[in-house]
Amino acid sequence: MKMNRLLFLIAALFVLSHYRAAVAEPDSKTAKKPVTDEYQGIKVEDPYQWLEQDDAAEVKAWSDAQNARTRAYLDKLPDRAVVEKTLTEWFAKTSPSYSSLVSRPGVLFAMKFQPPKQQPMLVTLASADDVKSEKMLLDPNAMDAKGMTTIDWFVPSLDGKMVAVSLSQGGSEDGTLHFYEVATGKALPDTIAHAQYPTASGSAAWNADGSGVYYTRYPRKGERPDSDLNFYQQIYFHKLGTPDTSDTYSAGKDLPRIAEIALESSRDGKTIVAEVKNGDGGEVAHYLVGSDGTWKQLTQFSDQIKQARIGRDNALYLLSRADAPHGKILRMPLDKPELASATTIVPTSEAVIEQIVPTANALYVGDLLGGPSQIRRFGLDGKGEQLVAIPKISTVQQMLALEDNSLLFSDVSFTQPAAWFHYVEGKPEVVKTALVGTSPVSFDDIEVTREFATAKDGTRIPLNIVRKKGTKLDGLNPTLLYGYGGYGISESPGFSFPRRLWFDRGGVYVVANIRGGGEFGEAWHKAGNLTKKQTVFDDFATTADYLIKQKWTSLQKLALQGGSNGGLLMGALITQHPELMRAVVSSVGIYDMLRVELAPNGAFNVTEFGTVKDPEQFKALYAYSPYHHVVDGTKYPAILMMTGANDGRVAPYHSRKMVARLQEANKSDKPILLRTSSSAGHGIGTALSERIKQLSDVYSFLFAQLGMPASAHK
């Protein structure tokens, strides 16, 4: 075994020298056109602000040149073509997967993804145990052969006879609302443009008789200034068979500019609840409308009520984090819809409450235990707590109450693809339904453990370490460390069969549950947002140090990966700890923290990151903003940055500016590459073929930088 490891190192060194030679030309230097902005009395020079102009010819030429340079590097790698061929074959063998299930009397609606088709489809089923009953309702692949059209979301009418569907193109998430008859699949002539956009997303809820929907819409040209057309989301009502120009305003004029509205109907359609977020920082308010069309505010942002679910017993069930960072559940009678009338039925505990699903006779609660999930069942009075048996170290992705009051839930782990399970009260265990995903490759030789790194303030930071059984702690393992740390979003176990490529070459995959996420409740989130964002970066650096000290890996064998807010994390690690890793893959990242709020979606992030208009928040933003902390003459690691030209969530210019600055400053011989996809946005709605190409680029890049030839691993 020692000889095998020695041969592996010799082969890796040979391959690394080959890969370095593949980058013949030096990093290109970008023209500097300095602009000076002043924030809180401090003048800040920005040499690459000109790269913010998406439609400028010189910016397009620059992006094209960067893409050509990136392709020249990646396409020369000996593994690149093999990796894409392998992934294409694997995806073609993948079983269908089902998500976003919705129950209506006698029918289930579901999104079905079945490679090699480019996009998920909307189907109906008689039950989760009867796949033969499946009927195609809407297939975007038939609508668009290029795979550029995707379903953003759908909402069936309460009787299941009609369905409202948001469709968008090219990963833009700029959705138009369409309507279809379920029995025939026939499209109605009704359409509503700009009902969905990535800034605040979109939503719809049907009225009782299915004659129309309440829906979210953004301002139209002329209703507000052009700079506000992706803000000020409001609620309108549309009656089927009428033009959208005759739709009636319902609510929202008094909401914040960065309001994000989600609508939910009761099962009888007599009540609709609007969940309104104040941007992305976690502040939520709730409103209720009855049959008279009058809206009533139930909760305010300061009340810390995070969810409101309509029960079948004339009550609302509320998830509260007021004086309960892990969450508690309140019951509010609908005949007296006031927060003062709500009573606590499930008190706070060590488990972090994430989901609540009421039925006619029970309340199901989905919890987080630092990352993995559990399900508890209660009576509607909060008594009689029972644990529902689910797979260990797994994630409950969705819980759904059926018409008979039983529960369907989707569960996934690091080593098993998602499957839907059925729980019936009184039965000793859950039953796996026919909606079970399978993998084209086996993970039987893969194991997962949770370890803990200790942050400098003594906080224990969990790491989920996934690797082949028998992996040695000798410091020689190529390791990919993934992190996010923001918005209270939890990094829970998830399955990705392309990781088989990584494990087959001796790789270790690690997910860090750093602060800023929601793995341990609201306090865990608040410890890493606004002026405390640096804690997130420190936690991630701590986990990297831990992996090296415990000999899972070494500096030359460690790579980091993150996207979106996790891209900001990558930018911070690159600039604060350039010596800590060999390579970084950063996707659709945020890097210029002083100008992020100027972009449409960036304004929604102010409640999470802060604003330059506040002195203390500006000080914190400027202190870590990756773009402003690139230092000339630094030896930076190998970097692959990826962005989408149609990204409405994080402006692509962040990646352009960051790459230009890094290329200017870098003194190492490692490549700094930018990959811009013209057919994608933030990642949602990306066609399968483009996803495969992206994965192939990422894996071949990492194999090259960490010295992971296919033939060397034994």
The tens digit of pLDDT for each residue in 57-75 reads: 999 999 999 999 999 999 9
Q: Strand, helix or coil at 365?
A: strand
| 415 HSE (CA, 13 A, CB side) | 18
The identity of residue 251, as a single letter, is A
Contacts of residue 238, Cβ cutoff 8 Å, sequence gap at least 6: 190, 192, 212, 213, 215, 244, 247
Residue-range domain boundaries for the chain:
2-89+441-706, 148-303
* Cα–Cα distance, 292 to 53 (Å, whole number): 48
265 bridge partner residues? 272
Of 360, 347, 355, 415, which is closest to residue 388 (Cα–Cα)?
355
Q: At what angle do helices 2-22 and 688-706 cross, to 10 degrees?
A: 110
Q: Is the peptide bond before 140 cis (omega within 30 degrees of 0)?
A: no
What confidence score (pLDDT) does residue 8 get?
A: 34
Neighbours of 189 (CB within 10 A): 9
Give 645: exposed, middle or buried? Use CB within 10 Å, 0-12, 13-18, 19+.
Answer: middle
Kindly tell me if the per-residue pLDDT of 6 is higher than 70: no
Which single residue is written with the structure tokens 């994630």? Answer: 395
Residue 218, pLDDT score: 95
Separation CA 255–CA 262 (nearest Å): 13
Please report where in the chains the tokens 């979606």 appear, as a residue.
Answer: 601
SS3 state at 381: coil
Distance, CA of 709 to CA of 714 (rounded, Å): 11
- Rounded distance, CA 541 to CA 556, Å? 15
Full DSSP string of 238-264: EETTS-GGGPEEEE-TTS-TTEEEEEE
Give bridge partners of residue 299 from the DSSP assignment.
Answer: 286
Q: What was the pLDDT predicted at 9?
A: 36
Q: What is the pLDDT of residue 213?
A: 97
- Higher model confidence: residue 292 or residue 162? 162
Nearest Cα neighbor of 654 from 596, 708, 580, 713 is 596
**Residue in 478, 627, 621 with CA at minimum distance from that of residue 560:** 478
pLDDT tens digits, one per residue of 9-52: 333 433 344 444 344 344 568 999 999 999 999 999 999 999 99
User: What's the alpha-carbon Rg for the chain, to the nearest Å?
Assistant: 25
Which CATH number applies to 148-303?
2.130.10.120
The dihedral through the CA atoms of 563, 567, 569, 573 has a sign that is positive
Q: Which fold has domain 2-89+441-706?
A: Rossmann fold (3.40.50)
pLDDT of residue 17: 42
Tokens of 303: 């009340």
Question: For the segment 671-694, what is each residue's pLDDT rounded down to a tens digit?
Answer: 999 999 877 777 777 888 899 999
- Tokens (6 digits) for 99: 């998500």
Q: Do 247 and 236 meet the contact criterion of CB atoms below 8 Å apart? A: yes
Q: Which amino acid is at 475?
A: G
Number of Cβ within 10 Å of residue 555's Cβ equals: 13
CB 33 within 8 A of CB 47: yes
* 412's tokens: 């996934």
Q: Can you give the pLDDT at residue 12?
A: 40
Please tell me the predicted confidence (pLDDT) of residue 410: 96
Is the pTM higher than 0.85? The answer reads yes
pLDDT at 485 over 90: yes
Average pLDDT rounded to a whole number, residues 171-175: 89
pLDDT digits 0-9 by tens, 217-267: 999 999 999 999 999 999 999 999 999 999 999 999 999 999 999 999 999
